Amino acid sequence: EQSSAACETILGVAPAGKSIIDLLARGLPQDQSAAMQATLISLFQDSSDFIRELKLGLLPASFELDGKSIKAGYKMLGDRQLMLILTDVTETTRLAAQVERDRLKLEMIVLAFTESEAFTALVEEYREFLGTEFASLLERIGEPGGVSELYRQFHTFKGLLAQFSFHRSPQVLHAFETAL
């Protein structure tokens, strides 16, 4: 029944009287939401402090809620109450992702200079693949081995581009591979 103003800001609603599952797990897949609910139920059925502490460790430590990254902490208050500590780490998460993107760009630049011939050759081959070979492979996709050849090309370029720290192309190629 008690919550801080910061908690209400993070959740976007006053949590009093609402299910913790409805508040926090609305962005989770159904199986994770069900697992969280089962863990919470069993948490209050157990009388051993040690077992309860172990079960607290099974609860999700972070959530994505309405575009915010939320860190969650749990603390038992006696046998029948659970305190939930929420921290909005959206800005920290955003900054960490930016630092990682910058690191990958720097890594790519260093590799482009130190391995310039291989880097240039890869970029040219990839452009050629996207410009002409891809369309040709798509035309032959119904032929025997057509899908396998397209998959092989995607897989090869995905690996080579990842070695040179390209960020987006390997992800897109992985999505195509999955679709195939």
Give tens-digit pLDDT for 33-87: 888 899 988 888 877 888 888 999 999 898 888 888 999 999 988 778 888 889 9
Token pair for 39 = 């863990």
Average pLDDT, the chain: 88
Consecutive H or E run containing 73: strand 68-77
Q: Write the burial class of residue 2 (CB in 10 Å: 0-12 exposed, 13-18 middle, 19+ buried).
A: exposed
Per-residue buried b or exposed e for 44-74, using 16+ beta carbons within 10 Å of the residue's own CB: eeeeeeeebeebbeebbeebebeebbbeeeb
**What are the Cα distances from residue 111, in Å, to 100, 104, 161?**
16, 10, 11
pLDDT at 123: 93
How confident is the model over 117-138, as a mean pLDDT?
91
**What are the Cα distances from residue 143, in Å, to 50, 126, 133, 180?**
61, 23, 15, 15
**What are the Cα distances from residue 58, in Å, to 13, 26, 40, 142?**
25, 18, 9, 47
The length of the chain is 180
Residue 91's pLDDT band (cuts 50, 70, 90): very high
Minimal CA–CA distance to 75: which of 56, 88, 62, 55?
A: 56
Per-residue pLDDT at 138 exceeds 90 = no
Q: What digits encode the pLDDT tens for the residues 156-178?
A: 999 999 988 888 899 999 998 88
pLDDT at 5: 86
Whole-number Å distance between alpha carbons of 161 and 85? 41
Q: The tokens 């970029």 sit on which residue?
A: 123
% of the chain residues with pLDDT over 90: 29
pLDDT at 120: 92
26 DSSP 8-state letter? G
pLDDT at 14: 86
**What are the Cα distances from residue 94, in Å, to 22, 100, 111, 170?**
25, 10, 26, 21
Per-residue pLDDT at 94 exceeds 90 = yes
How confident is the model over 127-152, as a mean pLDDT?
88
pLDDT at 20: 84
